Amino acid sequence: MLSEEEISDFIDGQKAKNTVNKTRSDVGIFDRWLAATLPSESRNLEEIPPAQLNSFLKSFYLRVRKRNGEEYEPATLVSIKNSIDRYLSDKSYGYSVCRGDEFKSSRDVLSAKGKQLKKEGKGRKPNKAEEVSAEEEKV
């Protein structure tokens, strides 16, 4: 009979390395932001109650910046949300950041932030070509 640890190691060994690295990186972004924002918050992510984590995520989506101070792309913020959800699922958190009713308001904030960033030129096709008028074409 295999131990739970051996089974867990087998499952972990089958995960795509890029996904594992992306999850670790994205959760690290949230952890660093949380530590900088609330230095007294020292719990692991999976130990934070859903209502409090939802509140933290709302602030995170609105305030997080790259190390150089620039805003993240909308798709990157969604990817970070998905990585946090994957991490919590792996830790048997019991709630889903992506689907749970407990996190609806943070998803709404993320959606609104994505719309704002797209208006500011971030996101897919930010430098989309504009239609050329007949007069401009002649020139």
- pTM of this structure: 0.81
Token pair of 107 as six digits: 């998803």
- Total residues belonging to the chain: 139
Mean pLDDT of 52-66: 97
Q: Which of 51, 69, 68 is nearest to 106 (CA)?
A: 51
Q: What's the pLDDT band for 95 if we cut at 50, 70, 90? A: very high
Among 13-17, 48-52, 118-122, the least confident range: 13-17
Among 4-8, 46-50, 58-62, 86-90, the least confident range: 4-8
Instruction: Kindly give the interhelix angle for 104-119 and 50-63, rounded to the nearest 10 degrees.
Output: 10
Above 70 in pLDDT, residue 130? no
